[in-house]
Amino acid sequence: MQEFRLPDPGEGLTEAEIVSWRVRPGDSVAVNDVLLEVETAKSLVELPSPFEGTVEALLVEEGQTVEVGTPIIRVSGGDPDEVESGKPTEETVEADASGGAVLVGYGVRGGAETRRRKPRTVQDPPAPEPPTPAAPEPPVPAEPHDASGPVLAKPPVRKLAKDLGVDLRQVTATGPIGDVTRDDVQRAAQAPAAAQPAASARVAWSGGREERIPVKGVRRATALAMAQSAFTAPHVSVFTEVDATRTMELVKRLKASDAFAGVKVSPLLIMAKAILWAIERSPEVNSTFSPEELVVHRYVNLGIAAATPRGLLVPNIKDAQELSLVDLARAIEQLTLTAREGRTPPADMQHGTFTITNIGVFGMDTGTPILNPGESGIIALGAIRQKPWVVDGEVRPRWVTTVGGSFDHRAVDGDTISRFVADVASILEEPALLVE
């Protein structure tokens, strides 16, 4: 009998929420079969089995938050020389079919012993006897999943189903291993309303006068971090309106360029490049303050704030200052897509040095963003709208936006803040400065 304890999913995290079990008591599991999906303060992670056997019991329920090292499942059978004291095999990393990283064979906190698997002798099964001919039967349409059994679906598919209000237990699976695919979910969402179960309908003002939502996972981590930042670092915020007409013209040209074929180009890309350019001129904004010292970073791990169904995530692009414009565009696109699909690895959430928040996508003109803990600056890009603007003494329609930002006044003085924001605005007004 083996007990699998909740491992550290990465970056020294101490707890995780059990999101969904992929197995049930009585199921047979092999090494590296996915047992469950957990949510940490940073990401969704699939946990594979470190041993083989038969599932005897699930020791924690879905929705429960448990600490690292807690026994979560009991499996009988397997090779006793393979795993000792519930310690799984060597940690490896593999890629799943969607390209996301899946951790395989974790150890519990404190490490795990590594043992080689014993070679197994596989015998060919006896040849089956030929079946007795029978009259052909009419085809039977596929049935939805058994509501009492596990639903096989990757994390991005589960997120899509949650966003569309689709109950995975009522979806007909067409995947190669009986799993629910993205197309399955989309077909279910487009089916007539009468075909959808009442439990999955997302109706406003239903379910009583109040709804109580536990604060956990990403939302809890974000709330604690924002409170710490707001009441620790003295924030100062500045704003300026910018004529971004030439930026919009550049974005249009880049979209038509062969070099950017297949790459998403938006004003956020020009803003990111403008920030990198301005940081080089005012490096103090890219720093970390402590009572003992001010650490000025000579590299930029550029965070991009992303709103996701799991809450606000701020993954960052490592050494963004080294990237060309097209490589920066690819990095931003990949980072935001991964965040929205719930596949951001913990490492991408660590060691950021400066952040952009694009509130313009929500129609907002400006705001006073809160700093990420450990950072001294954050820039907010507002909506870009056509407005009357004075050009050479004449009022003309121009594309206008507001650039705002918050800074840690312990690390950055007012004159540096003003110069930095003015530099960012100057690039949005005349992006040709980037190549001078």
Catalytic residue among 145, 297, 351, 409: 409
Q: Is 117 helix (H, G, I), strand (E, B) or coil?
A: coil
Instruction: Mention every residue, 6+ apart, whose C-beta is less than 8 A from residue 435.
Output: none
CA distance 18 to 46: 10
Of 373, 378, 312, the residue nearest 339 (C-alpha):
312
CA distance 360 to 52: 51
CA distance 191 to 368: 42
Instruction: Mention every residue, 6+ apart, whose C-beta is less than 8 A from residue 75.
Output: 1, 2, 3, 4, 29, 49, 51, 52, 53, 54, 55, 56
Contact 414, 236 (CB under 8 A): yes
Contact 373, 222 (CB under 8 A): no
Please state the φ and ψ torsions of residue 121, each to the nearest 5 degrees.
-95, 120
CA distance 387 to 242: 11
> What string of H, E and C letters represents the secondary structure of 7-36?
CCCCCCCCEEEEEEECCCCCCEECCCCEEE
Is residue 409 among the annotated active site residues? yes
Catalytic residues: 409
